Amino acid sequence: MAKTKVGSNVEVAITGNNLILTIDLAEEQGLSTSGKNMVVASTHGNVDLPGKPGWKLGVNCYHKPTT
């Protein structure tokens, strides 16, 4: 199962018919453009799935910043 990086803190692997996403929840990328959320991971829009022509993936993972 080879992992492929497809964005900031987003890796994917395809095993059989399963798509496996890996996101390190301890990693933070900084505040969103609006400043309201802390971005943990993003594909920054839709990206091609490796080895799957015509398939797209779009992921955003974020949380409210702690004060």
pLDDT digits (tens, 9 = 90+) for 13-57: 999 999 999 999 999 999 999 999 999 999 999 999 999 999 999
Whether 1 shows a pLDDT value over 80: the answer reads no
pLDDT computed for residue 66 by the predictor = 81
Contacts for 2 with CB less than 8 Å, ≥ 6 apart: 13
Whether 7 shows a pLDDT value over 80: the answer reads yes
Q: How far is CA 59 from the centre of its chain?
A: 5
Q: Are 14 and 22 in contact (CB under 8 A)?
A: no
